[in-house]
Chain A
Amino acid sequence: MAKAGDSDDKKGAAPAGNPLREGMPADRTAPPCALVLFGASGDLTKRKLVPAAYNLALSRLLSQNSAVIGVARRPLPFVDQMKEAVAKHSRRKPIDQDVWSDLARRTSYVQGEFHDPETYKKLAAELERVDKEHGTNGSRLFYLAVGPDQMPTIVHGLVEAGLVKAPDRTSGAAFQHVVVEKPFGTDLPSARALNRELLSQLDESQIYRIDHYLGKETVQNVIVLRFGNTIFEPLWNRQHVDRVEITVAEDLGVEGRGKFYEGTGITRDIVQNHALQVLTMIGMEPPIAWDANSVRDEKVKVLRALRPIRGEDILTQTVRGQYAAGSIRGDKVPGYREEPDVAKDSETETFVAMRLAIDNFRWGGVPFVLRSGKRLRRRLAEVVLHFKPLPHRLFDAAGGGAATPNQLVLRIQPDEGISLRFGAKVPGGGVAIRDVAMDFLFGAAFGSSSPEAYERLLLDAMRGDATLFTRDDEVEAQWAFIDPILEGWKNLKAPLASYEAGSWGPKEADALLPEGDRWREP
């Protein structure tokens, strides 16, 4: 059964010339399609993808002509597992039985090896069945929740079985989109090779490289804050900003993923994707339109303007570290080398700090300092614009005290919000100044139940909106910046600083800041 008149919050697009469509909101609902989850038995499917599909259904954003098909190697009671996953991980509880039953009725499972052509024959038959039974009309969203080594095999299998066709850009035509999970490669050559593989089978418009950070409301709000207001953008440049500080911190360790982490490290896991995405949002010029290519063009320009860190600069512009045992929230936690599946002499970094420069007119001379780590004091992602100090301390002579330069803090997680710090006069005689903050909390203004990033991104991929996905040149530009640093650490035998779990990282990172400045300890 199709869904009528579901209105979300966008106005506008309507079939041209129909006067009855005037004023009606554009339909934010996903068009009918089959969501095919490769890696159906995996953690991501359980924790994020299936709850996201359920929440879209609950919000009536998933077409009632949609279907969900899991694909994995093992025999699996997929529908039962889905229900368990929704009950455990959905942001909205308890399960709405009507919505769940309806979704379960449209859910099925295909077992098979990803390299086996028989798997794709079975999948084709299942897709044909759901086309007929549920009206998915040949439209599919293939979600590859698998490692990068398996992606070319799956895409090849899909194309060989005729399950992905050349894109038809006619309005309302069937679509086949492929969502590719991170990590997208492990370095520039592997990312390029993966891009080449995918683009030999698919059109770029069919590939949706996901970075779930971009699905976060607060990351998107960086763009709205900058380009949806008039007061911030005039200050958003080297004339007024002294430095930009980006923190992506986790209080967790490797959580049983020691083997994975040994081959990855925080730079590949967080900085190459999430942290650089945040940096591009902060640094980009205004796009000419809010569409996929206009936005991504501007982000790529920032990545290309990042001054490469090479040679001996790697030793002065970056710091890598590894956590030692310590305490977090009152609990004693082991050091990284004491974690399971981690080598006793591991050189893998669990902390990285960098001093970056964006060589363009807007940001010339403004340091961007970035840090990311595991087992830091608290889970936190934030961007802070430190504004320039006063040119003349007018109130010092009158006992005004030392008001610190203004700061604009964009908190991405948790406690999402924006805070502007400024000096205010302390009531009473004289002109004593004290720092105060104007705080905006998303939860206070809009309630606490924002959609999960994966809900937004699944919906966008179904609707064919790639604005919040990474383009091929973007992911390659990210790796092109990161690769020489990783290479340099190895070649130069860069020191691996130790930091106590529960701290804000090694003290060596302080050297990356301008003299007299300190990292924030929020």
Chain B
Amino acid sequence: MEGAVSAPRDAATGKPSDTVAAIERELASIWSVPDPSTGATKVRASTLNYVVATPPSELDTLREMTDNIAETHAGRVLLVWVDGRLEPWALWHEVSGVCRPSAGTSVCNDRVEIGFGAVAAERAASVVRSLVVPEVPVIAEVVAGAPSLLVYAVVEVADRVVVDSRRMRLGPIAELISRARGPLADRAWVRSFSWRELVARFFDEAPDLGHAIERVTIMRAKPRPGGADPSHLFLGWLASRLGWSELGRGGARRADGRAIAVSIEEAASAEPGDLVAISIEAGKGEQSVRCEVARKPDGDTSTRGSVHWSRSGGAGGPGGAGRASAHDMALGHHDETWVLVKAIEATEGDAVYKEAALTGAKWETWWEQT
């Protein structure tokens, strides 16, 4: 990124519309002059609006991330937060444009940061709606710790909402699902894709075994404070795909009525909120198989390092289902920008996540109640 240009800081205690007008003027002034670093005409890149409701403590991290995703998903960025230091009706804002040279022009996108006073935050939805670029989607990210007033405001205007259940429990996420006009994506869901894919592999050759699961054991690190237990989202996925019912601390019931034993264990060594090992037993007697995915010691987060994948038992099972095999698998090297891009692009589809999150939220509730 080159050629950052900043408009002067503005503060207002008048009407929010005055602040919107000031922001519009500053945006217009940014776009009306050539890029000062190159002298080239600016071309606006507008593939989306990325609106983030955040606590102020996350602003630096978000600024860096929005610069990174602008390389491939350029558009208008709006960072909004509630600032307790401001007068209740005050709004603070800053407007900047960031440009990079491309094909003899400067391809630019802009970023608007708005701090709302506690009362002014009631108008956040209206302010955001005025400032988003029309005709391109609004992606809203809700960062844990943002006040619900602000969260609901951005969810209201969003075509797609991004959350992170590593830092937010599934109950509030289920609430957002019911409020949002568009689908939800979850960074933790993106990070844990490999785990689901590896578990799905167990049943590729014998899908019926998926309906014959007897026991599930999940080992995970202690969840982050305020974050969801990753095992609940994982179990929500299994349960919603396989038609389990009567979810609770002791387990669940299969579609054929048989009980499934579920246990969740804690590992001390991993990153908080990470999955460490998943073990599944399915089938009975000679037909039974045991499948396991377990993090190898080189893995330090959900998206780095490698896992050991193994399947044993069940000799002569249907479709070769019982074939014993074992592999080491790389989880790859993903950073949070990659995770966000995948969340924006809905790589895995939205309906499956929605069902997994809603079922996981039920599990979260029952787990705590029983």
Binding site for B on A (CB under 8 A): 1-9, 11, 15-25, 60, 64, 414-415, 417, 439, 441, 443-449
Contact = CB atoms under 8 A, between A and B. Distances in A.
B332 A23 contact: no
Contacts of A15: 204-205, 207
Contacts of B332: 3-6, 60
A444 B329 contact: no
Nearest to B193: A5
Contact of B43 (A17, A18, A439, A447): A439
Given A19-B242, A20-B241, A24-B200, A4 B307 contact: yes
B327 interface: yes
Given A1-B327, A2-B330, A444-B43, 18 more contacts: A1-B329, A2-B327, A4-B330, A7-B197, A8-B347, A11-B349, A15-B204, A18-B203, A18-B210, A20-B200, A20-B242, A21-B204, A23-B353, A24-B348, A415-B103, A417-B103, A441-B105, A444-B44
B74 A445 contact: yes
Given A4-B331, A6-B332, A444-B102, A22 B45 contact: no
B119 to A, nearest CB: 39
A441 B102 contact: yes
A1 B328 contact: yes
Contact of A22 (B193, B329, B330, B352): B352
Contacts of B245: none
Contacts of A7: 193, 197, 342, 347-348
A21 B200 contact: yes
A447 B71 contact: yes
28 contacts: A1-B306, A1-B327, A2-B328, A5-B193, A5-B194, A5-B196, A5-B198, A5-B331, A7-B197, A15-B204, A15-B205, A18-B200, A18-B203, A18-B207, A19-B207, A19-B241, A20-B241, A22-B352, A441-B43, A441-B103, A441-B105, A441-B107, A444-B43, A444-B44, A444-B45, A446-B72, A448-B102, A449-B71
Interface string B99-139: 01011110100000000000000000000000000000000
Interface residues of B, number: 46
B345 interface: yes
A2 B329 contact: yes
Main secondary structure of the interface of A (DSSP, over half): loop
B226 to A, nearest CB: 27
Nearest to B241: A19
A444 B100 CA distance: 9
Contacts of B5: none
Interface string B42-77: 011101000000000000000000000001101000
Main secondary structure of the interface of B (DSSP, over half): mixed
Given A15-B204, A19-B242, A443-B103, A4 B329 contact: yes
A16 B207 CA distance: 8
Given A19-B207, A19-B242, A20-B241, A415 B327 contact: no
B81 interface: no
Contacts of A64: 330
A25 to B, nearest CB: 5
Contacts of A445: 45, 47, 74
A20 B347 contact: no
Nearest to A414: B103
B195 interface: yes
A20 B199 contact: yes
A313 B348 CA distance: 56
Contacts of B195: 5
B196 A20 contact: yes
Interface in B283-317: 306-307, 309
